[in-house]
Chains A and B, each alone.
Chain A
């Protein structure tokens, strides 16, 4: 009984900022619809089919998982820019392991399980290291994860600096599992995993004690501490979850690409942060939603498709466009936030006047 009272308290405390998130998320959904309509009109036929939406899902499955991992750390008021490197390291290590197992003649499902465990294990190691440094030693998360980014990229080149193709039979069979109706749609296993992660993260953040305490921690660390929430443990766990998801994203990546390269996930941390911000996750923490992040990923991937379809050869336009979009949404957030602060200040003065009166 006591517990329910507590969660409802946390809930009402966040009711007011939720209106701003809804506004930001509505803007994101609007942007997506406008962009998709633009694609339909100017690029034509291809975007009119259901297949195209599922293609977007299949191609960006790993980015959806990364978006979830960034959302959870950002809600907790922290940041993780090592995810791109961790994706690369886990993908490369899995590719190398599968190659080794194939050479040893172990071609069955054992290879699939071992490589998945390796991917999650790499994520777990990075998560524990970064989470410990950020939450228990109180070092700036940006510095810790920047070091993590360079560490993972450096270690990747030690694992292998060349492309590692995967020809492991068991893995090939595993990755070609797909839910499909020919010529209508096709949902690859990787995309299905990404959607499951999305739903799982939503449930965790909304209905689990840990998720609620991460919201409280990001909203106001001091009050979270006074509510009796173990602030350090929550932040630590948010980093662990983020890095484990990054490891999983690496695994999903090789399920789509079926080879390990050193260029995997280059700048994907930036895409993931952009997706989270576009979807309405506040940089200051405490506010956000994984479904918003999902919309953010879809917006970014639609831009990518438009750029590819409009035959812009140089990839630089794509980077500039997503950079400009990120800049726009960051400024939008800042404006919304300052408006909220002003409203709050006004309300406070009104309350004070009433008390005086």
Chain B
């Protein structure tokens, strides 16, 4: 730009200036190409997600029930909804239950996932291929289908789980009802979630393990390191980034889980004493048509998940930037 202006002031030949200007126009066009390319997605996201999220914030400060839904107009009540929730023991109990539930699920998923991935490295090729195919098959099962299968297997009348446990001599599980207490219901949900999550975790960790140089492990072994020491000092540091990402993903997924507990426990048996956050929100906000309060719960939940996501998103953004 500065050169342009000096050139003009000095009264240099006009053709050159014209050429420059044309170049600039072209440059502006070139610079705007990426924006044009992302515009459709940005526009769509703004309309289908941005606007609803903006409405969500406003909804949370309104009394908004069925009547308001029909009129499309809520009554502003300030922060009353938040006050209601934060003074509701059900909210705090649900939050605590969800945190414990998430920790249990993630810990089980990650520990079992790591062990199975390590097992994969020890297997003969044909067994490994068989097990990986099995895992991929499980991975592909739709959640709703998995819930129905679980329901059938743990059915109290003729579920296979009761039969097998009784036959194995674990105890008398004849007509044992797995959905009698909140703890038992949530444990069944955990079993279902961990089973569904394992394939992704195992296969990803296994891929990470294959990056561990074989010579390094051999060297450690010949130096007399035990299996556990080899894992702690050689293998673990190399797969740590993978484990970190998988753990944060699992935390985010398990904290916001809805379909598995909702369908497995069953609408009829869902009560405040077995609420998880997603279900709490669905029951109190949607089913009771108390959209204002539901919106406030949603915002609290989204904020918690946003905090949990920071680690994961930051890591992924770094990768997206480099490549």
Do the two shown chains form a genuine complex with each other? Answer: no
Report A's interface with B, CB cutoff 8 A: none
Report B's interface with A, CB cutoff 8 A: none
